[in-house]
């Protein structure tokens, strides 16, 4: 996740680690655990047919992308956060850093919450939850429904990433949502009370410092006051971004390598450094109702 609006600064993740080579077969890049399958199945329970209705196949009952034709997609990943935090799906740190022992995240009331918090040394705790090693996908549709934190410093994000390149120079990345509430009204990132009113989308091709496209989406109202849907349709030669089902940006870029999902609250960049004014704790969380991914259904 590269710093915005400082395009020359590299992604904060920078240490290489060897993983399996990227697969060319789209289906081969989808990794599903038994725990995931149970969660995905539970998602289908949201629309059970009545006794008078004929039962539909499980795949048809699963939720489709918001604003899209569900018949065009097959659900490949879903965490509805109805059964607590699932370590079989999520890592609570990145591959190059140990997990901070103080937990500033939890699953409560059917939602994942990640919040700004200080540790014993009065340092703010960065937190990344990702599916590295547990779920990857090439192409498809990725969506969350979320409410953002406010205040100086927090940097919430939803993005896709790949660090398969063992020499560390190729890092494809798609930032579906990054917000900087600490920027203030003069930056257009937030209002005078540092409530987030904008977010950014960015495509990084994988070549050092090379962008495939970016856009700052402004004047969206207080994004910390209610939930919104942030989504990406990733096609072989195009990436299209959506806000509450409405297309907000599209770019023609080839991104053929598998990626995994990340959710985080970091600090800095256009949000500034957190300080004594930064609201901490669960009441100022990056709250996520669900994370879902779909693959394009093969045409017969």
Beta-carbon contacts of 214 under 8 Å, excluding residues fewer than 6 positions away, are 4, 200, 201, 202, 203
Check residues 10 and 257 and name the one with the higher pLDDT: 257
State mean pLDDT over 230-244: 98
Residue 75 sits at φ, ψ, to 5 deg, of: -65, 125
DSSP string, 134-167: T--BSSEEEEEEEE---SSSEEEEEEEE----TT
User: Mean pLDDT of all residues in the chain?
Assistant: 85
Task: Assess whether pLDDT exceeds 90 at residue 67.
Answer: yes
pLDDT class of 30 with cuts at 50, 70, 90: very low
Percent of the chain with pLDDT over 90: 75
Place of tokens 């579906």: 176
Task: Assess whether pLDDT exceeds 90 at residue 181.
Answer: yes
CATH 2.60.120.200 fits 30-296, yes or no: yes
CA 280 to chain CA centroid, Å, is: 21
Task: Assess whether pLDDT exceeds 60 at residue 33.
Answer: no
Structural domain boundaries of the chain?
Answer: 30-296
pLDDT class of 300 with cuts at 50, 70, 90: low
Q: What does the buried/exposed string (b/e) look like for 275-290 if buried means 16 or more CB atoms within 10 Å of the residue's CB?
A: eeebbbeeebbbbbbb
């Amino acid at each position: 996740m590269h710093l915005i609006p400082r395009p020359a600064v590299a992604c904060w993740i920078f240490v290489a680690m060897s993983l399996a080579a990227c697969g060319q077969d789209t289906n081969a890049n989808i990794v599903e655990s038994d725990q995931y399958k149970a969660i995905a199945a539970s998602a289908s329970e949201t629309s059970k047919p009545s006794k008078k209705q004929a039962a539909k196949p499980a795949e048809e009952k699963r939720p489709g992308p918001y604003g899209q034709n569900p018949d065009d997609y097959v659900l490949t990943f879903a965490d509805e956060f109805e059964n607590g935090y699932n370590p079989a799906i999520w890592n609570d740190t990145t591959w190059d850093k140990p997990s901070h022992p103080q937990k500033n995240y939890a699953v409560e009331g059917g939602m994942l919450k990640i919040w700004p918090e200080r540790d014993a040394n009065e340092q703010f705790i960065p937190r990344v939850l990702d599916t590295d090693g547990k779920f990857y996908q090439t192409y498809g549709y990725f969506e969350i429904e979320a409410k953002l934190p406010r205040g100086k410093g927090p940097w919430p994000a939803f993005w896709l990433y790949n660090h398969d390149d063992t020499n560390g120079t190729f890092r494809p990345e798609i930032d579906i949502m990054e917000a900087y509430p600490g920027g203030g009204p003069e930056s257009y990132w937030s209002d005078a009370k540092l409530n987030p009113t904008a977010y950014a989308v960015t495509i990084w091709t994988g070549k050092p410092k090379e962008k495939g496209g970016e856009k700052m989406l402004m004047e969206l109202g207080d994004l910390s006051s209610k939930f919104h849907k942030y989504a990406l349709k990733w096609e072989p030669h195009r990436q299209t971004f959506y806000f509450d089902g409405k297309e907000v940006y599209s770019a023609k870029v080839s991104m053929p390598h598998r990626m995994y999902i990340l959710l985080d609250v970091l600090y800095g960049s256009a949000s500034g450094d957190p300080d004594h004014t930064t609201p901490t704790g669960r009441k100022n969380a990056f709250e996520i109702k669900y994370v879902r991914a779909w693959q394009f259904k093969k045409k017969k």
